[in-house]
Chains A and B, each alone.
Chain A
Amino acid sequence: MSAIDMMGPPQKSGSVLGWLRRNLFSSIGNTVLTVIAAYLLWLTVPPLLNFAIFDAVWTGDTREACLGEGKGACWPLVWANFDQFIYGRYPASEIWRVNIVFALGFIALVPMLIPSAPAKRFNVILLLVVYPLIALVLLAGDRPGLPPVPTSEWGGLLVTLVVAVTGIVVSLPLGIVLALGRRSSMPAIRMLSIIFIEFWRGVPLVTVLFMASVMLPLFLPEGLSPDNLLRCLVGVALFSSAYMAEVVRGGLQAIPAGQYEAARAAGLSYWQTMGLVVLPQALRHVIPGIVNTFIGLFKDTTLVLIVGIFDILGQVRAQLSDPNWTVPQGALTGYLFAGIVFWIFCFGMSQYSNFMERRLNAGRGR
């Protein structure tokens, strides 16, 4: 301690001790908080690491491998059921089709996310028009060489991604249109937008899914009712559009009237003003809110379970009743796996949004 006392004020670039003192022990209040936080971490992190890694069973072919005192997560359970968790009941001989869809999506998405990658306009069309069509043909099949796979056999991460990606891709443009409609000077359009938004914001997603899945077929003529998954997709997309509309509206409100006036005075039309001047600024303001809505939507996809569609969480739960893999830590292991998968996607989205924000703020001179 005395050696430290002799050192004088800590340097900006200083030592580890200097950093600790500046950031964790700068005042009594700060020190108390540091101690409490450290205690909480010590309570939670080591048991979690022990369960998931150090005491975990990593190999084995049957449940016997996971039985016994003091054993942690039963990872062989996940390995053995991996295909179910990812593809649901999709026929094993056709799984290559899903893999191609995953791979193509990845290939089309990555250059989209890299700001400096060329041909953005082409990339957008590829991702939003060409890719969904290819994905639909490959997944649903019923073409020469592609036997049909009904959506009732889709499941696991595949369904999670289909629901989430559809929701994300539909909700942003539809949300923008609704937000513009809500601020329109035409009363009829404004009213319709308000009614639409407030209706969907007022009902829980569970109700929406239940209505779409159970009630809708009762109203529609026999045989005309569309596919169960499709109905849920529409429900999720409309539901998240209403939330997106309110996020976008927040951004629109931050744009000063002078921006509209300058654009209109220069002769730009309403849609040019919105598309070239107002929306690019408004959307930038609300990137965190948009990504937040995406993340919420991604996690809400788990609710499709209540209408008999098995997303990744549903598959994990369904697997728990498999007598071949009943082990005491089975539920914990399965949920931990599902949690990790969700975390990877959601954390990825939030990190990307942080990256975009930093990038957009740099070079703006503000």
Chain B
Amino acid sequence: MTAPLLEVENLRTRFHTPDGVVRAVDGISFTVREGEIVGLVGESGAGKSVAGASLLRLVEDPGRIVGGEVTFKGETLVGFPDGRAEAGDGSGDDADDRWRDDVLSAEAIRRRIRGREIAIIFQDPMESLNPVFTVGGQLREFIELNRGLTQGRARELAVDMLREVGIPEAEDRYDDYPHEFSGGMRQRVLIAMALACEPSLVIADEPTTALDVTVEGQILELVADLQAKYDTSFLWITHDMGVVAEICDRVNVMYLGEIVEQADVDDLFYDTSHPYTEALLDSIPRPDRPVDELDPIAGIMPEAIEPPDGCRFHTRCPDARAVCTEINPDCRPLDDAGRPHRAACLKHESVFGAGYRESDPIENEAAGGFDVGRTEEGTDD
């Protein structure tokens, strides 16, 4: 097994808002190995984007990484001095004195890592392309800066990359502006940009979510081709279980800031070990076969500001028992699995030994029957 390219250990990121502290990412750990596509999947607000941004310390105010460690190719991107993890004052993540001595400076990350070693592709391509410059010009400049090539050579490479990601008449389209490209083509340009420096890792945050399904198909195929060719690793952020099944090697499922299950893609679907993953899979209509009745997840996602005590899924979990309201299980290896498979659920009694079996089932939204989706408190008039 190859050594991990990226290692994330107990990463925590918070937002200090007027309403309270949002624990957007609350102690997640995962790895990405060379040549792997690793999925980060979950519903809206689960913390996927914040997790992705935290890896390169790109969290925006009022967000702040407050704990954990991120290492990439032996270099430390996030790390705190002993006992100072929560040390927090007004200064943002760019204040380098927050970090341990061996942690790369913001400047070093910008100069050496971002774009060159780790590229990011965002959901909305318009956000990443400057509307007043031509597509080719932006790509050329990016290559010039990051690979130290001459303008002429960078231009050639830019055209080559545009062609490689399937932009028709690349030479002619080089001088077009972003608005003259369709959404799918803009996303191709961003992929070209992401791959231009042959990075080892690409963080892709819902890069196909805004696209039509046929265009998404084209992009996923393109990514698979390029990945095979350059052996790039991907952290693929998505809410779409279909996309996960299609391209990921391993998957992390997030719920309310935590990773609740971590498995090879086949195990995730065929040996599902967390009730949330199971519920997620049961709630989706299938394109490949008729489903008589959808089985929705009961209730609504609780606020990240005050997540439920105990297991965060206990308010909606069909298997919840009293013990689940008290203990918040961490994501532990399941012993019977042949391959590494982790889950954060007390049902796995032999792993957690928390007394789940003797504990009584509880009343929650999942037990509520027909009026799922109704909020709990109801008397405010």
Pair from one complex: no
